[in-house]
Amino acid sequence: MPWNRYALGYHGCDASVAKKIVAGEDALNPSENDYDWLGHGLYFWEDSFERAHRWALDESSKQRGKVKRPAVLGAIIELRSCLDLVQVEHLDLVKNAYERMLGVFREANQPVPANTGKDLGARALDCAVFQSLHVFREEDYQAPFDTVRAFFTEGEPLYPTAGIRQLDHIQICVRNPACIAGYFLPLQ
C-alpha cells in the first residue's frame, strides 16, 4: 500500500561510517545475511536512538566487531509502499508467502530454514519467508514493497509476568534506498 508517511530511523555503526554517509562520501550497504529478521535491506530502529546506540556499544565490545567507535546514524525514511506488519491486513501476505515457500522447499526436497538462538535472534526462517515474499510478488507481477516495518518483542520481561520486554522495538528494513530522504548525525 502506498504511504505518504515518513519515519525517523536510527542505525548503529562506527563513527567513521556515520560521518562518511552524512557527508555523501559513502553509502550504507544493505544487510544480506541469511538470518536478517525482515529479509535483505538497510536496517533501522524506528524512533529509537538509544536502541541503535546500545547495539553499536555491544558491537564495539566484541573482539571481531565491526564497530570501533560507537555512533548512531539518523535517517529520514519515506515508507512509500510499506509491508507494515503492525497493520493486521498485511500479516496474511506473510503467512501466505510462508505456505507457498514451504511448497517450494518440499518440491525441491530441501530442508526448511529455522529460526534459532536466544530470542530466536538468528532468523533464517523469517529471512527466507520475506525474501520469498518479494520473489513471489515479482513472479506474480505485483508491485514491490519499498520498506518492511515490524514490531519485535525481545529481551527479558520488565517485571514478573510482564508482556513488555526490555528490548521491544520497531524495526524498518529499507529495500529501496531511494526511500532515504536524508541522513543526519543525531544530537547526543
Q: Mean of the pLDDT values across residues 9-26?
A: 97
pTM value is 0.92
The pLDDT tens digits of the residues spanning 67-122 come to 999 999 999 999 999 999 999 999 999 999 999 999 999 999 999 999 887 766 67
Over the range 121-143, which residues count as b (16 or more CB within 10 Å of their CB) and which as e? Answer: ebbbbbbbbbbbbbebbeeeeee
82 touches 176 (CB < 8 A): no
Give the DSSP letter of residue 105. Answer: H
Nearest-5° Cα angle at 127, 125 to 133: 100
